[in-house]
Each structure stands twice: as C-alpha cells, then as structure tokens.
Homo-oligomer: A and B are copies of this chain.
Amino acid sequence: MPKEKESKVSFNLKTPKGTKDWSGSDALLRDRIFTTIADVFKRHGGTALDTPVFELREILAGKYGEDSKLIYDLQDQGGEICSLRYDLTVPFARWLAMNPDVRSMKRYHIAKVYRRDQPAVSKGRMREFYQCDFDIAGTFDPMVPDAEILRIVTEVFEELGWNGRYNIKINHRKILDGVFQVCGVPEEKIRPISSAVDKLDKMPWADVRKEMVDEKGLDGAVADKIETYVVKKGGRDLLDILLKDEALMANESAKAGLEDMSLLMDYLEAFGVLDKMSFDMSLARGLDYYTGVIYEVVTEGSAPAVSSSAPEAQVVQKSGKKSKSKGGNLEDDDRSNDPTLGVGSVAAGGRYDNLVGMFLPKAQIPCVGVSFGVDRIFSITKARIEREKSAEALRSSEVDAYVMAFGGKGFTGMLKERMSVCQTLWNAGVKAEFSYKVKPKLPQQFKAAEQAGVPFAIILGEDELAAGKVRVKEMGLEDGHPEKEGVLVDLAALPAEVKARVAKKQGESVSDVTQQLDDLKVDA
C-alpha cells in the first residue's frame, strides 16, 4: 500500500562531522591491521578487555586537563549522567579499581574513542577513531614490563611491514624533571616548561625559548641551560654522557630516571630491539599522568608538509594541538592534501603509576602501556600499497569461487543446480557466490565475477553436469594458456580441487590486501 502523498523527504544525508563510514577494501585492509596488532598482543599473553562506549561522567572528570572540553556528553534523559570515552586508558584504570582482586594483568583493547576536536579527515584525524591499546598492570621489578611494551611496539610495526620506516623516541619523565630542577626552573613552572619543550618536534628552539621566556616568564639564562640538554638525541652514547654529568647525577629525580634508562637499554638489548630506539630528551608527552618512561613512534608520514624554519628539527605534529591554537572553523588541514603527511605519531605511551589510585587510593597499581593510532597507520599503509602496487585493484570481499551456468536453446538457468553446487562448496568452507538471477546470461556472470575480483569460475553445463562433472576456470588467463577454457572436474572432487587451486594461487597472487600486506613485509 504505497502512500500517494509521501511527505517530502529532506534528510541531511551524511555522517556526523569528523566521522566516516568504512567500507569495501578500506574496511578489509583496516581489519587486517587490527588482526595483525591483536596477534602480537596475544603472543605476549594479552587478554581482551571490552568496556562500554560510555562511562559515568564522573569517571572521566579530572583526567584530561584542558582537553576535557573535547569530551562528548550524553543527554540527561533521566537517570545517570554519562559521556563517551575519550581514551581506553581511563576505562582500564576504572576496571582495575573495580576489580581489586586482580593485582596484575596484561590487557589489550581495540575500540573506538571519541573527541570533539577539529577533524582533518584526509589525514585520519577524526572525532571517532580506533585505538589499539596494550597495558601491563602490576608491581614488578623495574623496567621489565616497560621493555616488553617497547618490544611489542617493534613487533607490531615489523609485522605491518614498516621495517626501517619508523623511529621510536624514548625519554623519562624523571630525567626531564631533574633537568628542569638542575637548570633552575621554579617548581611551579616545571609542567608549563615541560609542555613548551614538547613542541620542539614542530618548531625551532628559538620559538620554544620565546614561549618560555616571553609567555611563561622563565629567566633567559635558565632557558639557555635547558637548551643544552633537550636538543640531545642518541642512544647508549648519550646515556653514558649523562651518567657522567655530575650536576644531573646529584639530582635525585634525574639520577633515578637515568638509572631506569640504563636498565631499560640493557633489557631492550636482550629483546633485540635497542637499535630501533632513539633516546630523545625533547620528548615530553602532553598527558599529566605519566610518571616514568615515555615514548612515541614517528614515521616518514608523521612530519607535516611545511617548510620548517629549522630543517634539522624533527617536526612532528601532535593531534589536537594545532587546531586549538588556531581555533576557527577549519574543517580540514590546509597545508597539504597528501594523506600520508602530517599524520603525527602513530603510537605512543608510557608509564603511569598513579592513575588507578585516582579511583581507589587503596588499590594503587602501577601501569605501563602503549596506544596504536590505527587510522593513521591505515592511511600510511594504504598509500604505500597504492604506490607500490598501483596496477592491482584492491578487493572488497574474499570470495574464491563464482558458480555460474550456461546452456543453449531452452536453457533453464540451472538455478537450483548452482545453489546445490554452492552448498557443497560452503559445506567445505569455500567462499562462493552465484548470480541471484533465475536465468542469467553467461557474460553477465563472468562480468560479476570479474568485477568482484573472484579468482575462479565454476561453470555448470547441462550435459557435463549430467555426467557428474563441472568446469573450473581460473579467471584472467591469457589466450593460448593450456587451461584457458578451464578443466573438467568430478563434482565430488570439486571442493578439494578449488581449495588446492586457491591455496596455490594465493602463493603467487598479489590481488588481495592480505597478500599485499604480506608482500610489503617481504619487500621492506
């Protein structure tokens, strides 16, 4: 009963600002990235934790400093007052506080988080985005879990095929605090000065110094002293220099931090990953809750595509900061349309020993963890696949076989026969499709299989089927290939035959994203 006078439809057909739909080959590639990361997490004994997408508002309150204004609130509809989660760390700390019998845990969590920030969709900076977190909670001997987290970081990027294309910057909050104390920064200025130092990856020292002196009222001589430390980068060599710095070693905080760092480097060496790290004294990280080791992973795409006035400085843009300082209604980044540039760090984390205690002072549990920014990792990975394998179309489904039929005059379409053959394939676990038309034409069926990138056609002919046989034809073979017309196979042997051919082809093919990711790994 269709209504004649349909009321006029005037929907705003879009997703909310800063959100997007994921479909087709993009969804498949992202899914593959999730699986890769989750496999590494499980390899290290991680257990899954899933928390609600919203929390009681008071749980989130007071955890994110001035970024709290970016939290999405649910409307008060009578009952509890809730907000969408801003990250996965605070819900984990809440869970630990609620489960005081759990004194130690390796947990992973792959889920969406929400921030009412200025989006930059083309760079993967969204209001709704995925985080993949791994955290180790519990009281252990110093630096052992910290080292394993950094080992996990290297495994994830190696598995993703980023060999040699990423850099893990590490530092320690206690070293930084000690440096500031030794240089003469007044106690109440330590956090503001620390946050100025954190900008050294995107602006030159002269600008950072200006912020310290002009905006934050620091003595110029103190700032100059800070410079001698925070521009330093290196590895064990830098650590050795600092360990001989008498002024630093006389400071309790710096000494403790440097000793931690020394132990950490020993352990990273035992894990075979010390060469992937860069000890970077300018790394400070924004969040207040870090108490020990901190780290951040940058890659070729992390730096913004701007001409820097300090080309030697490592320019990495931090999410959310730029838009805040600029303000305005900037819908997207105006500097470059290259989605692989300026995405910022692709993973970051550190030790936070006091967060659980904010929920339950008696249940203090030290934690260390890392969060992977999957949307950014996706943007970079996809761009690389497109660059390196541009001739190959990305597939959106994984179907192996398209069951089709043909016939001469009086052809019935053989729908039930096609269904029955599909049934046999599905029973054997083979991914298979067929046309939903009762009497489809053969070219239509080939076209559908071709468009979906299905590698094998299973062709039913009436006479052949009556003799218990079907034809298996690999799609896209060149003229003159001995199997160009396909091969006849006993119906009973079909599932095994298709499986064997699919397995063989997957060994050769680069036609799906899974394979392409594997290829990138080998290439790298």
Q: Please tell me which stretch of A48-56, A195-203, A383-391 contacts chain B, meaning at least 4 of its Cβ atoms lie within 8 angstroms of it.
A: A48-56
Contact pick for A52, options B15, B80, B399, B431, CB 8 Å: B15
Q: Is the CB of B436 within 8 A of A145?
A: yes
Q: Is the CB of B13 within 8 A of A360?
A: yes
User: If A16-B52, A27-B48 touch, does A430 touch B43 (CB 8 Å cutoff)?
Assistant: yes
In the complex, A12 has a CB within 8 A of chain B = yes
Q: Which of A52-78 contact B (CB under 8 A)?
A: 52-56, 58-59, 72-77
Complex interface: chain B residues within 8 A of A430 (CB): 43
When each residue 12-23 of chain A gets 1 if its CB lies under 8 Å from chain B and 0 otherwise, what string results? Answer: 111111011111
In the complex, A144 has a CB within 8 A of chain B = yes
Q: How far is the CA of A20 from the CA of B55 in the complex (A)?
A: 10
Q: Is the CB of B12 within 8 A of A31?
A: no
Q: Is the CB of B24 within 8 A of A56?
A: no
Q: For A27, A28, A48, A431, which residue has the most chain B Cβ atoms within 10 angstroms?
A: A48
Complex interface: chain B residues within 8 A of A336 (CB): none
Complex interface: chain B residues within 8 A of A56 (CB): 12, 14-16
Q: How far is the CA of A485 from the CA of B464 in the complex (A)?
A: 62
In the complex, A466 has a CB within 8 A of chain B = no
Complex interface: chain B residues within 8 A of A17 (CB): 79-80
Q: How far is the CA of A56 from the CA of B429 in the complex (A)?
A: 39
Q: Is the CB of B431 within 8 A of A43?
A: yes
Q: Please tell me which stretch of A221-229, A342-350, A415-423 contacts chain B, meaning at least 4 of its Cβ atoms lie within 8 angstroms of it.
A: A415-423
A138 to chain B, nearest CB (A): 7
Q: Please tell me which stretch of A90-98, A208-216, A319-327, A495-503 contacts chain B, meaning at least 4 of its Cβ atoms lie within 8 angstroms of it.
A: A90-98
Q: Is the CB of B419 within 8 A of A95?
A: no
In the complex, A493 has a CB within 8 A of chain B = no
In the complex, A334 has a CB within 8 A of chain B = no
Contact pick for A420, options B116, B270, B397, CB 8 Å: B270
Q: Is the CB of A138 within 8 A of B13?
A: no
Complex interface: chain B residues within 8 A of A396 (CB): 47
Q: Is the CB of A44 within 8 A of B9?
A: no
| Interface pairs (18), CB distance under 8 Å | A6-B361, A9-B361, A13-B360, A16-B54, A16-B80, A17-B80, A21-B50, A23-B48, A31-B48, A44-B431, A44-B433, A47-B396, A52-B128, A53-B114, A72-B74, A144-B438, A155-B426, A271-B423
12 further A-B contacts with Cβ under 8 Å, apart from A21-B51, A144-B437, are A9-B359, A12-B58, A21-B98, A47-B397, A54-B128, A72-B77, A140-B436, A267-B415, A267-B416, A270-B419, A272-B420, A272-B423
